[in-house]
Amino acid sequence: MTKFSKFNKTKYEKHMMCDIETLGQARNSVVLSIGAVVFDPYANDLEQVLQNSQSEHTFTTFYKKINIESCEKLGMVIEDDAIKWWSKQAPEILDAAFSDADREPIEDALKELFVFSRHCTRFWAKSPEFDFIILEYAAKQANLGNPWQYHRCRDVRTIEEISGLSTKSSNTHDALGDAYNQAMTVQKAYAKLGMVRPEWPD
């Protein structure tokens, strides 16, 4: 059995795109929500599904709203500037970001995210210096590990600059929507740059 055996059934490389909404910019900021997409960077199914929801696809999505008190118990903080910034957003955006429904303790959400991202070989964010640093802080405070190693993290901004592409945003400050659009940018950039899919050993 080779170390690649876990890929034998899928035959495509799995990457994870992650995006979070927070109440600050510090590494210990409270997290409002986590969105993620596990996807094949060599495919173009994210855009196909936007055009036709019945299209076949290989990507999967993750979205959790986080209980604010659970973050504060871990020493995570709320920044005044972030509250002022959120207060200027549209009512529907505020309701989606701050409504009490369906919120989970951050420890539970992180455990689910780490299971969701199992077998991924690359971990993307815009940028890892923000999203992953904050999640890593929360995970450490909760005595959890994390599934990404620093050398497997990738920055969407870098591939945007190299490819000349930019990520379309609906500007709704929705973690899953942003993760989806950023993953779609990676797929388009891989195609434009002529990236070749690796062949996994049998």
- Give the CATH number for residue 39: 3.30.420.10
Residue with tokens 């173009």: 44
Q: What are phi and psi of 16, to 5 degrees?
A: -120, 130
pLDDT of residue 3: 39
Q: Does a structural domain hold residue 88?
A: yes
What the block records as the tokens of 145 is 């590990």
Q: Does a structural domain hold residue 200?
A: no
Q: Does a structural domain hold residue 198?
A: no
pLDDT of residue 5: 39
pLDDT of residue 4: 37
| Tens of pLDDT, residue by residue, the chain (202 residues) | 333 334 444 556 799 999 999 999 999 999 999 999 999 999 999 999 988 888 888 899 999 999 999 999 999 999 999 999 999 988 888 888 888 889 999 999 999 999 999 989 999 999 999 999 999 999 999 999 888 999 999 999 999 999 999 988 766 789 999 999 999 999 999 999 999 887 765 5
Q: Does a structural domain hold residue 115?
A: yes
**Residue 201 C-alpha from the chain's centroid:** 28
pLDDT of residue 170: 66
pLDDT of residue 201: 55
**β-strand 15-22 against 153-155: which pairing, if any?**
unpaired
Domain assignment of residue 127, given as a range: 5-193
pLDDT of residue 95: 87
Alpha-helical segments (H) within the chain? 45-51, 68-72, 80-87, 91-98, 106-116, 131-141, 156-163, 175-193
Number of domains in the chain: 1
Tell me, letter by letter, the H, E, C secondary structure of 68-109.
Answer: HHHHHCCCCECCHHHHHHHHCCCHHHHHHHHCCCCEECHHHH
Q: Does a structural domain hold residue 22?
A: yes
pLDDT of residue 193: 96
pLDDT of residue 26: 97
3-state SS class at 56: coil
Q: Does a structural domain hold residue 35?
A: yes
What type of residue is 172?
T
Q: Does a structural domain hold residue 183?
A: yes
Q: Does a structural domain hold residue 41?
A: yes
The DSSP H or E segment spanning 39 is strand 31-39
